[in-house]
Amino acid sequence: MTEVLSPLAGSVLSLSAVPDQLFAVGAMGPGIAIEPPAAVVEVVSPISGTLLQVFPHAFVVVGDDELGVLVHLGIDTVQLKGEGFTALAGKGDFVSAGAPVISYDVPAIRAAGFASIVPVVILERPADTLVVLPAEGDDVLPGTPLLTV
* Catalytic machinery residues: 72
Q: How far apart are CA 35 and CA 83, in angstroms?
A: 19
DSSP per residue, 72-134: E-SSSGGGGTTTTEEESS-TT-EE-TT-EEEEEEHHHHHHTT----EEEEEETS-GGG-EE-S
CB atoms within 10 A of CB 125: 18
